[in-house]
Structure 1
Amino acid sequence: MRFKAKLLDINCMQQLTRVGASMSRMTKNCVLCLAPKKVVFVSNERISEGGTRIWCEIQQETLFDDYRIEGKDNSNRIFLELITDNFARALKSIQFGVVSVKIRLTKKYTPCLTIEIVTAYGNSNRIITHDVPVVIVPQRDWYEYEEPDMPQFDVSIYMPQMKVLKQVIDRMKNLSEHLVITADQKGNMTLKTQNDIVTVETHFKDLGNPVWANDAANNRKEASTQIGAMEACIYIKKLAQLLQGQQINPSKIICNLLAEKAIHIYLVSEDVILQYYIPAAM
């Protein structure tokens, strides 16, 4: 297996840094899926840990100036398990003045992602090298990290801006461990939490509803419009974890609600798509 990539654009370097920082705040470990056309960070929690699933995808051509990969089979994919904090710390060395960043799969005391950061220093260049240990995921386990199917949602709705949503959830998370999200196909959403003393609700109107190309999704939309609002109860800390970790500045936040089962949050920015799946609280 071989992999090496190079970044020359400071904006692309910063984007990778933001993605790394976001992943480190949402999960301790993840699998980095390297493919010919895209780079994906995947995290699958056990059901006993809340069952959260993260899928963060970047098209490699929007990020890298040079990208070469040689996997074990015809798909030319490589799956690497890593500690997200190690990856994020290595990328923190990327500052203004960086000339280039090279990332290679190497074999040292253990398989590593070697990140080489070249910085202009006076009349010469200074090279900073980080070795991030990784574990090669065997091919028999790749199926666990494939792209998730679009869930069979009952309601799909745009969410408020990240800043507003974060402020609301920050206040609610101290009141209860549960959050009830209610939404309909008329652009209405309610966030509710309660304890023995108080019930707090925040209402949003005219948020809008995405139009999906999938016929089944459109049929569900029509059905849910007739049925009315649908709801799901989740652990509020799971949503707070997503909001606190975000640094990718999404242009759109979509919530696909599976009544009484789960919510599927879809964050879209110019170059990054992040899917976050939160099952209903047990």
Structure 2
Amino acid sequence: MDEPRYDEVTKTYTTGHSYDGIEELNTPLPRWWLWTLYLTIVWAVIYTIAYPAWPLVSSATSGFLGYSTRGEVAAEIARVEEANFELNTQLAAVDLTTLQENAPLQQYAVSAGASVFANNCSQCHGSGAAGSVGYPNLLDDDWLWGGDIEAIATTVRHGIRNEQDEDARYSEMPAYGELLEDGEIPALVAYVKSLSGLDHDAALVEQGAELFMDNCTACHGENGMGDRDQGAPNLTDSVWLYGSSDEALTETITYSRFGVMPPWSPRLSDAQVNAVAAYVHQLGGGE
């Protein structure tokens, strides 16, 4: 390393570094840049003291200002709840069969119900409520437990086949793989498909019809149109929760299905339950 020298051309001292004859000028940083750097350091120190900043084992430093984004959100929620208190009180106590007679309350219920649905129901039924395999489509008119607004509210409030709510909708299909002999399940599949006019093995329909009468009519009815009191699906309308292929129906008959919906009453208020029932009811499939 050479001794720094004064460069007459640039009027600046060199650093003393030389690389293959190329020298490095010791050009100082602009004063404005240095003061900006110092100010950002001071600002960072003040910010970490004043606001929540440093993560700890199970929490974080709170800051002497006591600011909290959670607290800010909670305050905003409280403000909105206070503003809607009267409407929510009315909605919680309303007779759902007469809700449409109160246009402002109906409009509020549908709007609020859309938010409730997006936050709690769309994960299973989809953002558009069209459902998927194993999760009912709420846009059509095929309802296992009834599609009027009161039936929908009951389903939302208590759920289906769960162990948390004594009033949950409940039905259970036997696993016929343990009850039927080899070759009988394909015959039953063929007959069930014939009820909805789907392609099927016509040679097996007669045997399947006998099996259906002996094993399935108690729930699905002799005509296969189901029973809403038991949550038994209508097998004649070409609406299939788990699919209508031979493979899907074989699995359903062999092992049965046991879909579970949680009860929402512990997490949703009466007003929210009624709101989401109103929203789902007006989507197009409500009866």
Q: Same fold (TM over 0.5)?
A: no
- Larger Rg: 1 or 2? 2
Which band: TM-score by shorter chain? Answer: under 0.3
Structure richer in helix, relative to its length: 2
Q: Tell me the TM-score normalized by structure 2.
A: 0.26
Structure richer in strand, relative to its length: 1
